[in-house]
Amino acid sequence: MKLALIQCSATDDQSANVTQGLESLEEAAKAGADLVVYPELAFTPFYPQHRKQCYAECEGNDLPPLSLAEEIPGPTTELFCEAAKRLGVVVVLNLYARKGDAAFDASPVIDADGTLLGVTKMMHITQYEGFYEQDYYTAAGTQAPVYDTAAGRIGVAICYDRHYSEYLRALALQKADLVVVPQAGALNEWPEGLFEAELRVGAFQNGYYMALANRTGDEDVLTFGGGSFIVDPEGIVVARAPESEPFILYADLDLQRCTESHARKLFLRDRRPEVYSGGAVRI
């Protein structure tokens, strides 16, 4: 299976961002990609860098933040469903989504026949300087679904969810072969090398590939770092994009290797869930 990660920046022009995203999809499909993954909030400016109450003042925008959100299915997903069907590729997006007055950080998963298979919503919502996500999102994600796609069994861990081993293990227990991470990671956000180390351990402990697609570019108070990468089930980085520039990262993945991984053969086999049914080992 050939994977493509779209490392891109976004401007205030959502229509132009979507057009750019569709052009990247065309390019990846021509290069033989079976699955194309976009970074977090790929088609909107990264609004959570500002407190919700000062959004208009900070951004010079008279529109409320919720105006950036859209329903799923909606205009963007319809465009990408049509493109996925025409090109025969699986697509994982990430959008600012809404349902009524509730808003979510959400990843629609589109199969190669254009079917919208489902939507993963970010489960863990953070709140710290530059990432005021609790101001914007409803904590509605209660599941960690795995999707049967034409490219394999795929799970999604949206940005902050990757920090939670419980979430990653839930995907492993459903026999995910690949977990994709739509990410908005800024330069100097965490100690050097931690993004990579975290996913290397997650892939090794759970026996699947992990692939992080990051934003890039300067956006007001944040500079997004790019550096998207792909890790195999043994925890080895097999492909890495450059930092701080738009890029499409490709890798050929042998999903059969998940079956032969240490996690599938040993770690998952030897679990003792009866002693940590509450989510952790009893103390």
Domain boundaries, the chain: 2-271
Question: Could you tell me how far CA 130 lies from the centroid of its own chain?
Answer: 19
Cβ 224 vs Cβ 214: under 8 Å: yes
Tokens of 220: 């007001």
- CATH number for 2-271: choose from 1.10.10.10, 1.10.40.30, 3.10.620.30, 3.60.110.10: 3.60.110.10
Question: Could you tell me how far CA 152 lies from the centroid of its own chain?
Answer: 16
278 Cβ contact list (under 8 Å, min separation 6): none
Coil vs helix vs strand at 21: helix
User: Which residues of the chain carry a pLDDT beneath 50?
Assistant: none
Per-residue pLDDT at 53: 75
C-alpha 137/C-alpha 108 separation (Å) is 16
pLDDT, tens only, 113-170: 999 999 999 999 999 888 899 999 988 778 899 999 999 999 999 999 999 999 999 9
| Type of residue at 248 | I
130 Cβ contact list (under 8 Å, min separation 6): 48, 49, 186, 189, 221, 222
Per-residue pLDDT at 38: 99
Among 263, 129, 136, 257, residue whose Cα is nearest residue 203: 263
Pairing, β 95-99 against β 90-92:
unpaired
What Rg do the C-alpha atoms of the chain give, in angstroms?
18
229 Cβ contact list (under 8 Å, min separation 6): 196, 199, 211, 212, 237, 239, 240, 241, 249
Per-residue pLDDT at 101: 85
Tokens of 179: 């977990």
Per-residue pLDDT at 283: 53
Per-residue pLDDT at 64: 62
Determine the Cα angle at 74 with ends 176 and 71, to 5°: 85
